[in-house]
Amino acid sequence: MKTVLEMKQVSKKFPGTYAVKTIDFDVFAGEVHALLGENGAGKSTLMKVIAGYFNDYTGEILVNGKTVQLHSPAMAKANGIQMIYQELSLAKPISIAENLLAGRLPTKGTWLLDRKTLIHESKKLLGRVGLGHIDPLVAVEEISQSEAELVEIAKALGNNPSILVMDEPTSALSKEEVDRLFGIINVLKKQGIGIVYISHHLPEISKIADRVTVMRDGEKVATKDITDVTTEALVEMMIGRAAGEMYRKRSSSIKEDVKLEVKKLSRRGFFHNIDFHVRRGEILGICGLSGAGRSELARSLVGIDPIDGGEIHLDGTEIQFRSMNRALAYGLAYLSESRKEQGLALRLSVGENILSASISRYSPKDGKEIVKKLIKDLQVNPAEDHRMIATLSGGNQQKVLLAKWMATEPKVLILDEPTRGVDIGSKMVIHQAVMEMANRGYSVILITSDLPELAGLSDRVIIMRNGHFIGEIDRVDCTEEELLLAANGKGEYVNAIRESR
């Protein structure tokens, strides 16, 4: 088999830490090589080395058997390496076409943009990722996150890569979208492209990968053929011990009193006539596909977006917030799905971020205490409160984000994709924390596209589809399969509620 990429003894140091330490890593043509490891293991950093992100790595890198210097993204591209970043890199206000062909826009003569070729070329690229039906002239901000993800891949394909790196490409995708992505990956494999695939989702790995390399604390643990290892073995290699049972139904902590009740809540174009309630100590899941209006509902609940009709009752009194700070004063907190734009201030330290939503709550001294405690409870790694948040790995940033909202001691905590990009060990930690909050009498509203998580944590699940409330599933019946059916508007629970009323 042809080796398209070979890394020998590659290391990369950051101020204050080694992120990657003497790694050997190779990729064959036409294979998917999965890269696994806990949050902060160094996966993204290793891939950034390949993508030419750093000019100060050490070690040797060979592409197609030739030693190369990958000291800039341009050099990496010139060597046929393309990377899909953990956070998308598309320019939102400009068109898909211009994003796709950025840096090599077709011209007529020397100066004029050749629109026809632009459209033609981008249509061709979009077709390769199954987006042939989309108009390449619409702006990226107008398409959904999952489509943007595919556009990002199309953009990479435009440069005819021989090596494609995908850093957690499925963390924001629903199951159908993941399947679609896998279809595309299989086609790319046949074309002889070597693919590096980073994910925390192990079932995915066994489905798509040919080989797998596990990293821990910046070092390589092992490289194996996927057929030679079990999922359990992989987990053990990642975290250095066997994992316990992932979800254990907790004994319910639901109290009688209704904490939050929503009646006929609407926001035109986003969600319509939504009814639900959540009790004290209850974890209420909201199930739905992306675009079902779940996040929009959450944003309206906490006053970030307006509502057009309906009522919100908190502890039995009607209430409406016009901004997040009012909502927060009443004990409503919202962990947003977009960590980088709305969740964490990347130029602040870990401690400052954790306290950023509870500045009036703590004295500086208490603040320090609570930061220390949350860092420890949620196992943020490295456990240093003065670290700049941008230097933490993606999964650890996510833990800090949860810590930030836990610090506000909310009465109702709305979690929107709380474990995006988090490794399995840390996921258990986060789940544990959420369940403990419910046990202490907090109400939790959980929005997640991770169905096992939804099934495992929720006491009750309501189903949304295209902005409408279409049904409710009880805890006993709440399984992954049911949820999947329900999200797609099928299954016996859908609409059953409506009829029984």
Partner 1 sequence: MQSANLDELKKDSRSLELNTLSLWISKLGIFIVVGIFLIVGPLVSAKFYTLANLTTILQTVAILGIVAVGVAFVTYSGHYADLSVPSVMAFAGIITVATLHYGIAISLLLGILAGLSIGIINGFVVGVYKANPIIWTLAVEYVLNGLMRWIWGANQIYPDLHGNNGRAASSFVNLARQYVGPIPLVFILLFCAVIIGQLILSKTRFGRRLKVVGSSAEVAKFSGINVPLTIGIAFLISAFAASIGGIFLTSLVKLGVYSNGTGYDFNAVTAVVVGGVSLAGGRGNIVGVLGGTLLLGILVNVLNLIGVSQLYQTIVEGVIFIIVVGVNQKSLRKLGRDDA
**Which positions touch partner 1 (CB under 8 A)?**
13-19, 21, 40, 217-218, 241, 243-244, 248, 304, 323-325, 327-329, 334, 336, 341-348, 352, 355-357, 359-360, 364, 376, 379, 381-383, 388, 391, 404, 408, 425, 428-429, 432
Per partner kind, with CB cut-offs from 5 to 8 A, the member of Mg ion, partner 1, ligand ATP, none near residue 39 is: ligand ATP
Smallest distance from partner 1 to CB 104, Å: 25
For residues 50 and 332, which CB has a smaller minimum distance to Mg ion in the complex?
A: 50
Work out whether 336 is an interface residue with ligand ATP (CB under 6 A).
no
Q: Which two tokens stand for residue 155?
A: 């953009």
Smallest distance from partner 1 to CB 64, Å: 31
Q: Give, as ranges, the residues between 11 and 50 that touch ligand ATP (CB under 6 A).
A: 14-17, 19, 37, 39-45
Question: Which are the contacts of 123, defined by CB distance < 8 A and separation ≥ 6?
Answer: 132, 136
Smallest distance from partner 1 to CB 327, Å: 7
Q: Give, as ranges, the residues between 411 and 440 that touch ligand ATP (CB under 6 A).
A: 421, 423
For residues 16 and 132, which CB has a smaller minimum distance to ligand ATP in the complex?
A: 16
Number of shown-chain residues binding ligand ATP (CB under 6 A): 22
Cα–Cα dist 172/150, whole Å: 12
Q: Which two tokens stand for residue 193?
A: 């492209």
Smallest distance from Mg ion to CB 337, Å: 17
Cα–Cα dist 243/245, whole Å: 7
For residues 34 and 327, which CB has a smaller minimum distance to ligand ATP in the complex?
A: 34
Please, what sign has the CA dihedral across residues 164, 170, 175, 177? negative
What spatial distance separates the first Cα and last Cα of the chain, rounded to whole Å? 63
The enclosing H or E element of 347 equals: none
Cα–Cα dist 53/444, whole Å: 40
What is the helix, strand, coil percentage profile of the chain, to 5?
A: 35, 25, 40
Backbone angles phi, psi at 402, to 5 degrees: -65, -40
How far, CA to CA in Å, does 327 sit from each of 180, 216, 386? 39, 41, 29
Q: Give, as ranges, the residues between 289 and 308 that touch ligand ATP (CB under 6 A).
A: none
Ordered DSSP codes for 53-83: --S--EEEEEETTEEE---SHHHHHHTTEEE
Per partner kind, with CB cut-offs from 5 to 8 A, the member of ligand ATP, partner 1, Mg ion, none near residue 64 is: none
Per partner kind, with CB cut-offs from 5 to 8 A, the member of partner 1, Mg ion, ligand ATP, none near residue 501 is: none
Q: Which two tokens stand for residue 79?
A: 């060597």
Smallest distance from ligand ATP to CB 172, Å: 14
Per partner kind, with CB cut-offs from 5 to 8 A, the member of ligand ATP, partner 1, Mg ion, none near residue 230 is: none
CB 12 within 8 A of CB 56: yes
For residues 205 and 283, which CB has a smaller minimum distance to ligand ATP in the complex?
A: 205
Cα–Cα dist 347/343, whole Å: 12
Ordered DSSP codes for 387-409: SBGGGS-HHHHHHHHHHHHHTT-
Per partner kind, with CB cut-offs from 5 to 8 A, the member of ligand ATP, Mg ion, partner 1, none near residue 244 is: partner 1
Cα–Cα dist 174/201, whole Å: 13
Work out whether 347 is an interface residue with ligand ATP (CB under 6 A).
no
Per partner kind, with CB cut-offs from 5 to 8 A, the member of partner 1, Mg ion, ligand ATP, none near residue 293 is: none
Smallest distance from Mg ion to CB 422, Å: 11
Burial of 435 (0-12, 13-18, 19+ CB in 10 A): middle
Smallest distance from ligand ATP to CB 377, Å: 18
Q: Which two tokens stand for residue 144?
A: 């959904």
Question: Which are the contacts of 208, defined by CB distance < 8 A and separation ≥ 6?
Answer: 32, 34, 182, 185, 197
Per partner kind, with CB cut-offs from 5 to 8 A, the member of partner 1, ligand ATP, Mg ion, none near residue 347 is: partner 1
Per partner kind, with CB cut-offs from 5 to 8 A, the member of ligand ATP, partner 1, Mg ion, none near residue 250 is: none
Smallest distance from Mg ion to CB 168, Å: 7
Cα–Cα dist 105/186, whole Å: 29
Per partner kind, with CB cut-offs from 5 to 8 A, the member of partner 1, ligand ATP, Mg ion, none near residue 345 is: partner 1
**Nearest-CB residue to Mg ion?**
44
Contacting residues toward ligand ATP, per CB under 6 A: 14-17, 19, 37, 39-45, 382, 391-396, 421, 423
